Each structure stands twice: as C-alpha cells, then as structure tokens.
C-alpha cells in the first residue's frame, strides 16, 4: 500500500496530512468522520504486517496504549473492525520537546524542572501499572503552550510481566543511543529505573544545552556511559544549585540499584530541594568528552562491554535477511 495522501479515506478516517515517516510506520493527522474529532493515525508499513514479531509488537503497543489514561500520556482509542492494522490516538496540540531544545538550546531552570516533574508524574502512573516506556527522549514528549506534556510513541514499551519479543531468540532492547540506559546497552530489558535514567539525560540536556555523552558515533556514546559518569552539570551551567546537580547524579547512576527506585522519589526531591543532601562524589570518574589518550585497561573494558551489543546487531541483521 502506498502512502496515504490528504483527502484519502481509511475506513471512516479522512486523512488531513502526513506528519512523519519512521522505519516502521507513517503517522497521519486525520478526522474521524463519525465524531468529527481530530486524531493521529499510525499505520505500519505494509511489508511489516506479515512479520509476526513486528505485528505482535504493534498490537502490544495498542494494548498498552489502551490501558493508560493519564493527562501526561497520549490516549489510544479502542480497537474496532478495521480494513487493516493501524493505531488511532488522540491528536495532541503542541511542539516536540526536541523542537523546543533545537530552538532554545537550554531552558530556564524553573521551566526545565517543571517539565521534568510533569514527565515523572506520567512515568509514575505508567510504572505503577507495570509498563516501561524504554525509549524516552525529547522526540517522544509533546509540550503545550503551558508546558504541560504528553509522552508519545510506545513502540518498544513493555509490560514488566510480558514475555519477550525476540529476533532469533534475542530480545529487542535498544532505545535511542543518546538516551539509552547502561543496562540496556548491556542487553538487559530495562525496568522503571531505565526510564528514570533516560529522563535524567533529558533533564541534563534541558539544563545544560547538551547531552552528557558526546562521541563521533552512537556505539562510542553508548559505551562511554558504561565507563564514566557525566561531566558535572554545574560546570556547564553554574546557575544549577548543588542540590539540583545531586538529583541529576542520582538519576544518572550507572548502576540502577543506586538510582532513584521510582519516579515519585525523584519528584519529591525536585519539589523539596532544600532537603536534598549533597554527597561528596570526589572519587567519581567524570566523562570529559573526547580524550587524547585512553589507557589500555579502559580499551579492554570498552571492548568487553561492546560484545553483547555487537552480537545483538549481528543477529538482528541475520534475522531480517
């Protein structure tokens, strides 16, 4: 099936515009001719509908979306008899957080904190229902004119008690390189603490104008977070208070056991920064960006850490052939 065009009708939805293309689907703005309401329609590429793994993943996204009813999460409407596979979601007014960051680079501390709290409240609701997003990034957060947010795109979300979806018995665990948690880099499924890590990366970017780990390629960027801690954000933005920096460090702990256990804990600290104790982190190994000389031991550890990722990519390529 070719891409739908404005004016085309899919069942009782009239296509208004093509919004975005991804590797798996096309997103449209449409009008429900039965109700008159504006909706977003996500249609998978036709060739993917015959792939049983991707078909099940798409159906799981629909199932997860229908279980969530929160003002900070895009609403997915119930299934009905349809001529083909697609998702129908509420139309969200606003701009992507990515668009805002591209334009403004870094945000005022108060505004960044407000947006982070809104995202965390939505995560808290989601996590309490056993659902992990696993691909949290500025491209998946819509922000309206009052800085209210909606988390979108549950394409690789999972229920914590669900069985794995696999390619040749290998789980698809990766999110987006700049925002992926260390445990996902190592091949683990990730849990609610993985979402908190991704939120920490986003918050760091909102406050400093850059992500913590900048490398010439995605594999190097993912590997750096296994070996190093982020550069202290106060060195990039001295207006950040020590307590707020401490909150960022706790969200970005490499070991998930040392991170915030849940989103509610992080919200509490953000709302009570005067009660946050600042830890002496003198022994941390902060990331300094591209370095001139790297010790052999570090190269060895980096090579070992990349092994599961390389195996994943190799098996994924083989599975798709």
Enzyme catalytic residues: 135
Token code pair at residue 2? 């070719």
Asked if 111 contacts 119 with a C-beta cutoff of 8 angstroms, the reply is: no
Cα distances (Å, whole numbers) of residue 148 to 121, 134, 211: 11, 21, 22
Strands (E), the chain: 9-10, 13-21, 25-32, 38-44, 87-90, 95-96, 131-132, 141-143, 149-151, 158-159, 166-167, 170-171
Question: DSSP characters for 240-292?
Answer: S-HHHHHHHHHHT-SSGGGS-SSHHHHHHHHHTGGGPPPP--TT--B--SS-S
Rounded to 10 deg, the angle between the 97-104 and 192-208 helix axes is: 30
Q: Are strands 141-143 and 149-151 parallel, antiparallel or unpaired?
A: antiparallel
């Amino acid at each position: 099936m070719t891409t739908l065009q404005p004016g085309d009708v899919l069942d009782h939805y009239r296509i208004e515009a093509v919004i975005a293309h991804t590797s798996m689907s096309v997103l449209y703005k449409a009008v429900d001719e039965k109700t008159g309401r504006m909706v977003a329609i996500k249609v998978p590429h036709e060739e993917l509908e015959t792939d049983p793994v991707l078909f099940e993943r798409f159906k799981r996204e629909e199932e997860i979306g229908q279980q969530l009813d929160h003002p900070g999460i895009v609403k997915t409407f119930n299934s009905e008899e349809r001529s083909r596979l697609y998702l129908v979601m509420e139309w969200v007014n606003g701009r992507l957080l990515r668009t805002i960051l591209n334009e403004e680079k870094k945000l005022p501390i108060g505004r960044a904190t407000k947006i982070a709290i809104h995202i965390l409240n939505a995560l808290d609701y989601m996590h309490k229902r056993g659902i992990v997003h696993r691909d949290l990034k500025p491209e998946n957060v819509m922000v309206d004119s009052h800085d209210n947010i909606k988390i979108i795109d549950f394409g690789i979300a999972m229920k914590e008690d669900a069985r794995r979806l696999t390619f040749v018995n290998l789980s698809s665990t990766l999110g987006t390189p700049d925002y992926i948690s260390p445990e996902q880099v190592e091949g683990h499924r990730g849990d609610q603490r993985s979402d908190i890590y991704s939120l920490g990366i986003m918050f760091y970017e909102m406050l400093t104008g850059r992500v913590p780990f900048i490398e010439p390629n995605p594999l190097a960027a993912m590997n750096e977070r296994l070996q190093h801690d982020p550069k202290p954000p106060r060195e990039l933005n001295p207006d950040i208070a020590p307590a707020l920096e401490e909150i960022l460090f706790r969200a970005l702990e490499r070991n998930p056991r040392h991170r915030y256990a849940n989103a509610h804990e992080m919200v509490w600290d953000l709302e009570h920064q005067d009660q946050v104790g600042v830890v002496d982190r003198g022994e941390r190994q902060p990331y300094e960006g591209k370095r001139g000389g790297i010790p052999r031991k570090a190269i060895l550890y980096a090579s070992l850490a990349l092994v599961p990722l390389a195996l994943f990519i190799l098996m994924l390529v083989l599975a798709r052939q």
